[in-house]
């Protein structure tokens, strides 16, 4: 259960914490009194930390056993839009990786900031499977190829959209059309006990893709691996996720071996205004 500690000398009773609370479970009972949880409010708190984050005097501290004890000083909030737009335009899916491994600490630093991705009810239920051993990546990829082999015959959404036979031929020639010879795989996964769990994991994957270039790391989503992971029991057994958990999306990860010099052109913007 979350706990609020408020400094009597620092709190100005401005009520900003009460106003920001998305659950409406804080109250300011009187001019002289400190903000507090409403009756059963603490039970409904989603520990979003917004009350602590907006307090102008730093008077309020929210504690909960789930929270990482690390905290941060006030951060520079807004990036220059022009700079951020250029960064986002230059993010690319990386399909050629250097063979040298990305140190575990660098992957931890990246995943650490991805904790700041939004999640339904601030559940933060995303966990990470990192296949750091490249030999294991290759073994898992071979299992994914087995699934594609099993899908060769028949008219399916997969066979209509992808050249499965060509992909298998490419694998047999020593290429890796599924994991692109990436040294690592990163898979956010969630239990499916919450309506937003699947989306939470995909949003975490998107945040990882966006943050990675700033950390000097290349990524590419692997829909091919993901499709196999969702359907092929031998691959699911090898991934060995905890009971009831499902992979959100599969991300190839490594140091990039390509250097993009300019953004590609995009389709025209398509907006419906109402």
Ligand X SMILES: Cc1cc2nc3c(=O)[nH]c(=O)nc-3n(C[C@H](O)[C@H](O)[C@H](O)COP(=O)(O)O)c2cc1C
Contact residues toward ligand X (CB under 6 A) are 92-93, 95, 220-224
- Cβ closest to ligand X, residue 36 vs residue 98: 98
CB atoms within 10 A of CB 2: 20
Q: How far apart are CA 36 and CA 147, in angstroms?
A: 56
The nearest distance, CB 173 to ligand X, in angstroms, is: 17
Would you mind telling me the total number of residues written for the chain in this entry? 274
Residue of this chain nearest to ligand X (CB atom)? 223
Considering the complex, state which of residue 21 and residue 131 has its C-beta at the smaller distance from ligand X.
Answer: 131
* C-beta closer to ligand X: residue 10 or 90: 90
CB 112, min distance to ligand X, A: 23
Give the shortest CB-176-to-ligand X separation in angstroms. 10
Among residues 252, 256, 243, which one has the least CA distance to residue 127?
243
Choice between 11 and 250, CB closer to ligand X: 250
φ/ψ of residue 170, rounded to 5: -65, -45
Whether 11 and 60 have beta carbons less than 8 Å apart is answered as yes
Task: Report d(CA 172, CA 159) in Å as an integer.
Answer: 19
Euclidean distance between CA atoms 230 and 151, whole angstroms: 14
Q: Least distance in Å: CB of 199 to ligand X?
A: 13
């Amino acid at each position: 259960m979350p706990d609020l500690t408020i400094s009597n000398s620092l709190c100005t009773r401005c009520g900003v914490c009460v106003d920001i609370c998305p659950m409406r479970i804080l109250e300011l009972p009187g001019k002289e009194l400190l903000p507090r949880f409403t009756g059963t409010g603490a039970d409904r708190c989603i520990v979003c930390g917004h009350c602590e984050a907006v307090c102008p005097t730093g008077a309020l501290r929210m504690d909960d056993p789930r929270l990482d004890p690390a905290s941060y000083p006030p951060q520079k909030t807004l990036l220059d839009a022009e700079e951020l737009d250029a960064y986002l335009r230059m993010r690319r899916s990386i399909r050629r990786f250097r063979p040298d491994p990305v140190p575990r600490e660098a992957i931890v630093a990246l995943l650490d900031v991805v904790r700041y991705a939004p999640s339904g009810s601030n559940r933060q239920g995303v966990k990470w499977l990192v296949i750091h051993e490249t030999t294991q990546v290759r073994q898992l990829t071979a299992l994914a190829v087995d699934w594609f082999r099993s899908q060769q015959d028949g008219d399916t959404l997969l066979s209509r959209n992808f050249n499965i036979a060509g992909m298998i031929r490419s694998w047999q020639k020593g290429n890796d059309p599924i994991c692109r010879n990436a040294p690592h795989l990163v898979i956010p996964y969630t239990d499916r006990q919450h309506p937003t769990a699947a989306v939470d994991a995909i949003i975490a994957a998107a945040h990882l893709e966006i943050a990675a270039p700033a950390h000097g790391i290349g990524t590419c989503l692997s829909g091919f691996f993901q499709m196999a992971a969702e359907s092929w029991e031998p691959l699911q057994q090898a991934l060995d996720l905890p009971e009831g958990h499902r992979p959100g999306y599969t991300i190839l990860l490594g140091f990039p071996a390509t250097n993009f010099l300019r953004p590609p052109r995009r389709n025209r913007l398509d907006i419906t205004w109402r």
